[in-house]
Structure 1
């Protein structure tokens, strides 16, 4: 996966080189010369609706939020594993079994998305022009490790409640928000996890053809890495998904769904002492304690396999908790709080040299 990212990054850089452009390595934009300086993507013909949709988003959420960027992590189980699970199930078809597996996984990942945000947040520094035109060039620290995942990020203006009973009820719950006018279309559902069909991502295809994979949407670009993410974090996400699927499937009640979104936004804060994770009705614990609890449970699960490599992947994440300086947000704040844009451009140039040397 990382090698494919490297190939795409090199191809992009070689194309940009003719225009003397670079790939910005941060999830936060460099600076904003006012909203008029932010173009809407242009489409023609049958795709004209995409442009109109983006104009709608700009009017509702503001163009500035459209400048946030991140990594979307797509995951699917191998067909061999799914077929074996289906043979031991009572589902009427393989696709119905797959739908239920991915619905179950979506619930569990959404509930624990706060942990992924806490361990991978990497955007504590912003340019003041994101908030006010007159503050262009002023470095701003908002006590946020990941602004895009925080309360100031790209979220709906209500807490969506989804029905995970089966795929049809899940799709219907999203369609109801569109029918009520709370969403323009399904793509406006800004949620940590999406269930996606193969091919074009529409609710109609999802309903008719079923789930092909899930998409995790809460990962910041890591500017310390040329391709935006560390190999250790990719491996951890894989292990985390396998671990979650081993856990008992439970209902994802409405109050738990609201709680999951609140926890995700809280985990995006910079100061750990101010982060409390709700773990149930009227119960909460500090984020460090909550994170170590999950990682300890993961270690117990994977110790059965007996591979030291798996323990090392979890240990890498634990060190971000035991040693705060290992958190990406802490490292990046120290590196870029003096001159955010200039130093990021230098880093982008460095990444470009590293990547193009790989071709």
Structure 2
């Protein structure tokens, strides 16, 4: 960086006040969990048509190995860890265990899908005959009739992170908010973090976007969008794109745009989602819900369920049995946040790395400790424009973004943010051996000076240098990574995962054998409860 940046006074003051607690080792460590998706593909690079492998357990009940939309879209879920390397170690073992039970298949290491042969080549996941299993399947059928299956074959990394109670308590004391109930304070501050994330998530798209190209089959015979150009007979790309996954080719929904969720408060967020799962949409009504006795979608509303809302970040809380996600948030407040804008890095065998996690931790803490006023509708539009520009043209040296009505280059703004993150990284490193957060900033900041260091640029460079197609290059990476991951071995965890697979199958059988109401009655009861605001019982305030 050419010169040091001045840290805003409010941010500097908060950091200064937290230092005594940090030096005393009483801030605690951030808690992290990873959800990582990856398509199963065959040796020819086409999406696998085989069922979810029996040895991997029941995708309905297994705690760590399941599927997302498609039967072929593996999803790994780690437990919560306070050390990034522990989360990555667990993720490594999930890959290694899977590879020992995959027969001639690979796990696709890119976000944009492998070769497809039309919409029906993406098999919808089947979760069995229990009511909860049927609901998951019908929900996915609804996504098909609304948006098509191909969009649902896109994969990514979800990064779940929470601050320990000790850190929240220290921050509450620093801000003189001791009279505010702990859960209310924590939720309010999490929403402040989320608003700043929305303002600046374009930086993550630039640094970590890794999907500037697609296989031609992704368009399913449709016209090539203007933003794309052919690279070869099988590959389309956008020269300066960072993450086509986050463009209108990927997880976008014009119907949902009317929801205007800019995360100004927990009640606003919950009420907007609750209204969306209760408000019919004419186009979805025309599709039908149950046609000739066959469920096409769960309902004809703007959202079938709350999870259908696409966002680059979500406030979350683990729901108790019988609770919807919104009711869980109403009852206990925000427990953690889920970052959803991360592409798989095809050059990383796990799709994510420890320096990336450390950078994310620092960025999210910077979002939390910085001032975060409410987002107006006008600002919301500017934020959407900034993200779209970085998605489609993020590596364009001439690109400028809108910062409070001022035009500023991506590089200058990005360097300013990283400069402000430095003292935050130092604070997080107070409870670490060494300086892993500062080292992560030092490792990744050069990408702002040299766009050629970004994963999106590296992928395009490989495609051009090797004169190969997107699918052939990614399949080669998958093959190399499979060889490496198969050699990983933790006998204890292998035994545990094998037992969990057996147990999960039995749990699914038990669910299917239990006496249940009809699916129609089950669904009617679910949505009746989902429309109700949670009758909040005040929780004991934490010390």
TM-score for the superposition, normalised by structure 2: 0.61
Equivalent of residue 327 in structure 1, options 454, 457, 462: 454
Change (3 A) 1:322 1:164: closer
CA positional deviation for 1:10: 3.1
Q: What does residue range 193-232 of structure 1 map to in structure 2 within 5 Å?
A: 193-199=313-319, 202-232=325-355
CA positional deviation for 1:137: 6.7
CA positional deviation for 1:272: 1.8
Tell me if structure 1 keeps the 8 A contact 2:194–2:367: no
- Give SS of 1:358's match: coil
- Counterpart in 1 of 2:110? 26
Deviations 1:244-267 (A, max 9, x none): 222113112122223222222221
Change (3 A) 1:162 1:342: closer
CA positional deviation for 1:163: 6.2
CA positional deviation for 1:238: 0.7
The structure whose Rg is larger is: 2
CA positional deviation for 1:187: 1.2
- Give SS of 1:179's match: coil
Equivalent of residue 65 in structure 1, options 151, 156, 162: 151
**Matches of 2:435 and 2:441, distance apart in 1:** 10
**Matches of 1:311 and 1:265, distance apart in 2:** 29
Q: What does residue range 233-244 of structure 1 map to in structure 2 within 5 Å?
A: 233-244=356-367
Tell me if structure 2 keeps the 8 A contact 1:183–1:189: yes
CA positional deviation for 1:300: 6.0
Deviations 1:118-140 (A, max 9, x none): 11011122110001349997011
Tell me if structure 2 keeps the 8 A contact 1:196–1:214: yes
- Give SS of 1:72's match: strand
Paired residues, number: 358
Root-mean-square deviation (Å): 2.6
Tell me if structure 2 keeps the 8 A contact 1:102–1:211: yes
Equivalent of residue 238 in structure 2, options 137, 142, 146: 142
**Matches of 1:165 and 1:329, distance apart in 2:** 32
CA positional deviation for 1:164: 4.1
Is 1:297 matched up with 2:414?
no
- Counterpart in 2 of 1:109? 197
Q: What does residue range 164-203 of structure 1 map to in structure 2 within 5 Å?
A: 164-181=263-280, 182-199=302-319, 202-203=325-326
**Matches of 1:170 and 1:189, distance apart in 2:** 11
Is 1:249 matched up with 2:372?
yes
- Give SS of 1:26's match: coil
- Counterpart in 2 of 1:129? 217
- Give SS of 1:350's match: helix
Higher mean displacement: 17-26 or 227-236: 17-26
**Matches of 1:342 and 1:26, distance apart in 2:** 12
TM-score for the superposition, normalised by structure 1: 0.90
- Counterpart in 2 of 1:98? 186
CA positional deviation for 1:313: 2.4
**Matches of 1:50 and 1:302, distance apart in 2:** 41
Tell me if structure 1 keeps the 8 A contact 2:382–2:402: yes
**Matches of 2:258 and 2:410, distance apart in 1:** 22
Deviations 1:179-213 (A, max 9, x none): 33432222121111100012466212222222110
Equivalent of residue 336 in structure 1, options 460, 463, 470: 463
Tell me if structure 2 keeps the 8 A contact 1:129–1:137: no
Equivalent of residue 276 in structure 1, options 369, 384, 400: 400
Change (3 A) 1:11 1:314: closer
Equivalent of residue 38 in structure 1, options 108, 111, 122: 122
Higher mean displacement: 152-161 or 120-129: 152-161
**Matches of 1:287 and 1:261, distance apart in 2:** 15
Tell me if structure 2 keeps the 8 A contact 1:139–1:340: yes
Higher mean displacement: 158-167 or 120-129: 158-167
CA positional deviation for 1:333: 1.0
Change (3 A) 1:61 1:120: same
Q: What does residue range 2-17 of structure 1 map to in structure 2 within 5 Å?
A: 2-17=85-100
**Matches of 1:37 and 1:277, distance apart in 2:** 39
Tell me if structure 1 keeps the 8 A contact 2:358–2:436: no
Higher normalized helix content (fraction of residues): 1
Tell me if structure 2 keeps the 8 A contact 1:194–1:215: yes
Change (3 A) 1:312 1:127: same
- Give SS of 2:403's match: strand
